[in-house]
Structures are given as C-alpha cells and as structure tokens.
Amino acid sequence: MSEMARARHDQIAETALEWHRTGRGAVLATVVETWGSAPRQPGSQLVIDAEGRIMGSVSGGCVEGAVITEAQDALADGQSRVLTFGVSDETAFSVGLACGGTIRVLVEPVGAGMPEQMLADLVAARATRQARAYQVNLQSWERRLTDGADVAARMRSDKSGMEEGDWFVAIHNPALRMAIVGAVHIAQPLCQIARACGYDVTLIDPRGAFASAERFPGEHILDDWPDEALAALGLDARTAVVTLTHDAKLDDPAIRAALGSDCFYLGCLGSARTHAKRVERLTEAGFADRIGRIHAPVGLDIGAKTPAEIAVSVMAQVTQVLRHG
C-alpha cells in the first residue's frame, strides 16, 4: 500500500493542506503532553475546518468539542494556542479508561500559525517516504522542519513529545513495511500480525500455486522474482525483510538485495545447519562483512512450534530490532 493510499485517519497533514488550499480553512490540533491515563498519546492529531468538521482525534471524544471551538477562534484571530484539559475519572470511564488524566493540546491555524509552505514540505516528504520532525517552540512560536537527525532517539522510537526549551517535536516517520518472501504457512499469520502492528505488508513469491489470492485473500502479492520485486518496492530504513521459502534459489536473491540496502531488519527461516550453508554461499558471493545483519534462525527463541507461534516470534524480534537497534 502506498503512502498516499493509507487510511484517511493517517493523512491528517495531507487533509489539512487540502482543506486550507480549497478555502475550507484548516486548524491542526496536536496532543503535545499527557499525564496520567490520557486517551491519546503525544503526536495524536485532529484537523478542523471553519465549519467545525473534523478528521482524527486528540482525546477519544471527551474534549474534542472544546478543541473545535478553540480551533474556530484560532481561525478567526490567526493565533496559535496551547490548551490544557483535565479528563475526570467519570469522563475517562465513559471512553473506556480506568482513570482520568491531563492533556495539553497545541492548536495551530494553517497559514497564520503553521506556515503553508512548511506544511506542504512535510506532505511532500511523507509522500516520498522521507522522515521529518516538525518542531515548534510553544513560547516563541518559532517553527522548523528537520530530517530528524537532531532528535534521533525520538525518530527511532516514533515518540513525539516535549524537549528542553519549550520545544514540541512531532515525529513523521514513513510507514513501516514488511516484505515477506515465500507464501508458505508461516506467512499467513505473519501477514496478519504485522498488519496489526502497523506494517504495510507485501508478499513476494513467483510460484503461483503458493501465492494465490485464495490462500492469501486481500494481501498485496508480487509474483516477480524476489530481487526484482524488492528493487521495485524500494528497501529503506523503515522496511523489514523476512525470507521463508527454504529454497536458496528464491531466498538468496532476496537476502543479497536486503544486505545491499538500508532495511532495518533481515530475518531468514531455516535451521542452524541451513544457515551455515547459507553463510558459505553468501561469503563466496562477497557478502562476508554483512552476514552479521542476518537474524537466523528467524525470530526470538520462545520455543515456537506452530506457524502462528513462529510468526509471533518473528514479529517480536522485528519489534525488538526496530525499537532497540
């Protein structure tokens, strides 16, 4: 699934730019800080137009009405503002939480607050899978858009939040992707689990009997040779690659492509003996200095036996590498 084909609730910046440019007016409301059992995490966003129509969420519904009113005021006076809300225990219970909390919400009218060109640059970066950190000082209202190198820890953990000096940092990383080579039994639960964890999943297998819509209904399937499919997909630092075929003719081209890329994870199914033979082949092919990047046998050692359990172990290891490096 492409960046621009993602669900509309993940397209808040794009929607805000569209509404602003078509004259509907647009205000971005962003959770910047929370305490206690707040409904949404820092970075959660809502976009509001001049008529009070909305997309997204900053509170699970309990303070949206007040945010909409403040957003319309912000459109009228052109001033950004920070709102603080205490979510009572009673209100929290009504939206499914055990106890209340407090949230701060940044309200920015597009144009008068967040510059239109800066928002356009952010949207363009998101469309081309370039990471960006939008940073705004909540006292001086200075704003900057960076590649995130200055907040590397936040980028790695996908964690928006406050920094020293009253700076709020909103992380805009490309969507996570997983390329699965081999339409085998393990791939069926792995596709489902990866999607549940927020990954765009692509299944790659040139064998039509395996990679059929009947076996994998609704999945994005590529029937090209794995190295060609991965080249077309474009491997980057937000992509995980998992090979499952047990067939060197299929796995090895994918592994070589992954080792030559910036993908953050490469895991390969197979026993220790299978991997030893794989290492021999890759060494002969000139990949000796990169073999250490391979996670094999794939997945965390949790004693997994069934395809679903193995898929859980793979997803756990992918998450571990993503968050801890």
Q: Residues 13-43: pLDDT tens digits?
A: 999 999 999 999 999 999 999 877 666 789 9
Which of 172, 198, 226 is a domain's end point? 172
Which of 124, 143, 172 is a domain's end point? 172
Q: ∠ CA(56), CA(57), CA(58), 5° rounding?
A: 140
The strand pair at 220-222 and 167-172 is best described as unpaired
Residues 148, 182 within the same domain: no
Phi-psi region of 52 (alpha: psi -120 to 50; beta: other; left: phi over 0): left
Range of the domain at 111: 3-172
And the tokens for 13?
């910046």
Residues 192, 145 within the same domain: no
Residues 157, 188 within the same domain: no
- What pLDDT, on the 0 to 100 scale, is given for residue 97? 46
- Burial of 146-162, coded b for 16+ CB within 10 Å and e otherwise, reads eebeebeebbbebebbe
Low-confidence ranges of the chain (pLDDT < 70): 1-9, 37-39, 60-62, 87-100
Q: How many domains does the chain have?
A: 2
Q: List, in order, residues 6 or more apart from 71 with CB less than 8 Å away.
A: 27, 29, 48, 107, 109
Identity of residue 181: V
Residues 263, 315 within the same domain: yes
Distance CA 202, CA 185 (A): 15
Q: pLDDT for 92-138, tens place per residue?
A: 445 444 455 788 999 999 999 999 999 999 999 999 999 999 999 99
256 and 285 Cβ atoms separated by less than 8 Å: yes
- What pLDDT, on the 0 to 100 scale, is given for residue 60? 64
Distance CA 187, CA 104 (A): 42
> Which CATH number fits the domain that encloses residue 215?
3.40.50.720
Phi-psi region of 204 (alpha: psi -120 to 50; beta: other; left: phi over 0): beta
Residues 133, 189 within the same domain: no
Distance CA 114, CA 75 (A): 12
Distance CA 294, CA 268 (A): 7
- What pLDDT, on the 0 to 100 scale, is given for residue 91? 55
Residues 146, 187 within the same domain: no
- What pLDDT, on the 0 to 100 scale, is given for residue 5? 40
For residue 109, say if its preceding peptide bond is cis, omega within 30 degrees of 0: no
106 φ/ψ angles, rounded to the nearest 5 degrees: -85, 130
